[in-house]
Amino acid sequence: MSELQKRQVSDLDQWPVPARLLTQQQIGPNQYRTTLTNAADLATMFASSGPIADRINAMSSGYSAIVALPADLPVGTAETDLRALVVGGSEAQNGVWGKNTGASSWTRLGPLPDVEAVETALTALTGRVVTLEGVTLVFSVTGEDGPLFAITDAYGNVYFAILRDGAIVCRWLEDLLDTDTGGAAEVNPILYVAGDSRGDRSTDPDPDRTTTVGWVWPLQLMTAGRLDFQIANSIAVGGDNSEQFLTRLPGLEGKPPGVVVVIISTNDRSPGASWPYSRTRSALESWQSTVLGWGHRIIWIAEMPRGDNNGQSGSGGMTADNASIHQRVRQWFFAQSKKPNVFVADPYRLMVDPTSALGFARDDMMIDGLHGGPLSGFAIASEVAPIINALYPPRPRLIGSAADVYSTLNRTGALNGNPMLVGSDGVLGTGCGGQLADNWSAVAGEGLSAMFSKGSDADGAPVQTVWVSGAPTGVGYDFKGSDPTVPTDADPVSVVIRQVISPTRLAAGDIVEVTGHIAVEAGSTNLRGVALCFSYTVGGVTTRLWAGEPKVTRSNPNLDLPSYAWGGVAIVPQTPALPAGITAAAIEVFIAGASSGSANPASPTNLPLNATVTVSRLAARKVN
């Protein structure tokens, strides 16, 4: 257990329980049960002269030590069996037992917590389905708030939860770290991306940005920033087959252990290629063995469909033989979930036309038959996110108060003066009306209009809502257009909300990260992006880093964002060390449509953009 985790569960760090007493037994794909392996040693620790008993007796009045015994704990002699030591054979063997401060005997406090009740409470608390594999071993300290339990879930994680009157009132989630007995080694909350163009297109460097035609941006929204991600930690390369993928391993060698999300193998069966299953499997097994040996966790994306009926380049998909091998490779991915530290996400079922004999994608998924659009990215992220959310606890990434602003005493405070969007006296430019937060400005591109209003979230924090309508008539520019040196220009087709940052708050060498909460109501149409940005200007040249860079000029199909409701924590990639001489800087939100003639697909008619967007807690901070 890390020192941070010990501080989070400060009562539990009083219990010197050696790791060799616990082990993880695999009970199914991605499922492990944490069990007691040496009852005699643990019983000794609870004896009158044992270290746990000594800690109990030294604790302040009003506390108890509690052990909840699993029903299948083996029975031994009175001298060596933990159950006999605690229970004494006088009452039911299964339950929660306590030893009061200074007391010489144990008292039965009640039955084990009802597993279904705890599952329901934890599911409501975490916002995801929690499956417990029974209560196996629980250590706790009881105080005024009630007993603090440690409960193992189906993924081998441990929930620390206070149970008061049958209700969970708080909890921490962590992995059980036990390298000596088969548990997971400590893995940093770092995201790495590996594979082919389906990973590579999720991000772009120089300047760093995540894009709407990949899955990294929606993955960050859905995981609330549990994992740190930098563009340099993507080693995915467009066009790679599984053997070329192997040659990218040096990009992970020596890196801190983290979570590697991988999508690979379709190019083994691209037009002109027809690898047998054995050749793909050999390359993937070699890669997996090496990466696990370096201490990483792996999340395999169990491939995507290939081909569709949209008539774009790549829509032809695979031959019947290659489609069959593609399915066999998918089964190899599924089989890896039986291995420690390997997990499998299956977005394929959300993307495929289930009636297609060649495994074509649904017609709303792909921009060219091979690469996904925003709906594809959200589908992939929706399958990867639950795995990450089960492995890692939430991390506070959003600003919490208007008091948390930059000063000489708080250099990590918000660099923008009104991160909480307080007030309603902002500057409304062309095409904008309503109420905008103080010290923010807004302007609408030609043909667009925006109506602003104020509200609050569940915590009472201000929320800025904007309804965007109209058909953009301006012409934007995509970074990877005809001239790759010209940066993305979405201003002409967007409503842009901006707050200026004083350059005097930025110094050479600073590293800045921007975070904020964004959400879109159901029913949006022709919406290309809701992007959070940080921009800075040096020598008349402006650099902009994006979370969710939109594709505003391309005329491929399926480039619009989902029409269903969505939202989450947006995180702009951290800046490189900033240069000297910055003359301007800002935090920005772009609500973008498509340029004239670049609708889905290309149309001579300017299609109307319609979207209701909310933003809150928008802050730029120094992180070094």
* 3-state secondary structure at position 119: helix
Query: Of 328, 399, 372, which Cα lies nearest the Cα of 570?
Result: 399
Is the pLDDT at 24 greater than 50, yes or no? no
Average pLDDT over residues 220-237: 95
Instruction: Please report which confidence band the pLDDT of residue 613 belongs to, taking 50, 70 and 90 as the band edges.
Output: very high
Is the pLDDT at 103 greater than 90, yes or no? no
Burial 149-187 (b: 16+ CB within 10 A, else e): bbbbbbbbbbbbbbbeeeebeebbbbbbebeeeebbeeb
Instruction: Please report which confidence band the pLDDT of residue 602 belongs to, taking 50, 70 and 90 as the band edges.
Output: low
Q: Helices 374-391 and 216-223: crossing angle, nearest 10°?
A: 40
- Are residues 573 and 545 in contact, defined by beta-carbon separation less than 8 angstroms? yes
The secondary structure of residue 233, as a DSSP letter, is G
* pLDDT at residue number 110: 53
Q: Percent of the chain having pLDDT more than 70?
A: 67
* pLDDT at residue number 394: 86
Q: Helices 51-58 and 39-46: crossing angle, nearest 10°?
A: 30
- Are residues 285 and 279 in contact, defined by beta-carbon separation less than 8 angstroms? no
Per-residue pLDDT tens over the stretch 131-142: 554 433 343 433
* pLDDT at residue number 121: 53
Cis peptide before 394 (omega within 30 of 0): no
* pLDDT at residue number 601: 67
In angstroms, rounded to a whole number, what is the distance separating the alpha carbons of residues 319 and 152? 46
Is the pLDDT at 235 greater than 90, yes or no? yes
Top mean-pLDDT range of 4-8, 169-173, 413-417: 413-417
In angstroms, rounded to a whole number, what is the distance separating the alpha carbons of residues 366 and 213? 9
Is the pLDDT at 63 greater than 50, yes or no? no
Instruction: Please report which confidence band the pLDDT of residue 311 belongs to, taking 50, 70 and 90 as the band edges.
Output: confident
Is the pLDDT at 183 greater than 90, yes or no? no
Query: Of 190, 127, 178, 124, which Cα lies nearest the Cα of 152?
Result: 178
User: What does each C-alpha distance from 376 to 94, 139, 311, 348, 558 come to in angstroms?
Assistant: 49, 44, 18, 10, 9
Two tokens at 177?
């770290």
Instruction: Please report which confidence band the pLDDT of residue 161 belongs to, taking 50, 70 and 90 as the band edges.
Output: very low
Instruction: Please report which confidence band the pLDDT of residue 27 belongs to, taking 50, 70 and 90 as the band edges.
Output: very low
Per-residue pLDDT tens over the stretch 442-491: 999 999 999 999 999 989 999 999 999 999 988 887 766 556 566 788 99
- Quick one: three-class SS letters along 468-530? EEECCCCCCECCCCCCCCCCCECHHHEEEEEEEECHHHCCCCCCEEEEEEEEECCCCECCCEE
In angstroms, rounded to a whole number, what is the distance separating the alpha carbons of residues 518 and 414? 18
Instruction: Please report which confidence band the pLDDT of residue 4 belongs to, taking 50, 70 and 90 as the band edges.
Output: very low
* pLDDT at residue number 474: 85
Q: How many of the other CB atoms lie within 10 Å of CB of 337?
A: 19
- Are residues 482 and 603 in contact, defined by beta-carbon separation less than 8 angstroms? no
Is the pLDDT at 525 greater than 60, yes or no? yes
Residue in the structure block whose two tokens are 């995801």: 128
Q: Chain-wide mean pLDDT for the chain?
A: 77
* pLDDT at residue number 71: 39
For the CA atoms of 614, 570, 395, 622, the dihedral, rounded to the nearest 10 degrees, stands at: -110
Least confident segment among 95-109, 341-355, 475-489, 512-526: 95-109
* pLDDT at residue number 109: 52
Least confident segment among 34-43, 400-409, 418-427: 34-43
Per-residue pLDDT tens over the stretch 414-439: 999 999 999 999 999 999 999 999 99
Is the pLDDT at 315 greater than 80, yes or no? no
Average pLDDT over residues 283-293: 94
Average pLDDT over residues 102-130: 52
Is the pLDDT at 234 greater than 60, yes or no? yes
Query: Of 11, 412, 5, 13, which Cα lies nearest the Cα of 189?
Result: 5
Contact residues for 277 (Cβ-Cβ < 8 A; gap 6+)? 325, 328, 329, 332
Is the pLDDT at 371 greater than 60, yes or no? yes
Instruction: Please report which confidence band the pLDDT of residue 276 belongs to, taking 50, 70 and 90 as the band edges.
Output: very high
In angstroms, rounded to a whole number, what is the distance separating the alpha carbons of residues 25 and 131? 16
* pLDDT at residue number 72: 40
Q: Helices 320-335 and 277-293: crossing angle, nearest 10°?
A: 30
For residues 317 and 571, the model is more confident at: 571
Domains of the chain plus CATH, in order, are: 3-181 (no CATH), 191-391 (3.40.50.1110), 425-622 (2.60.120.260)
Is the pLDDT at 73 greater than 90, yes or no? no
* pLDDT at residue number 488: 80
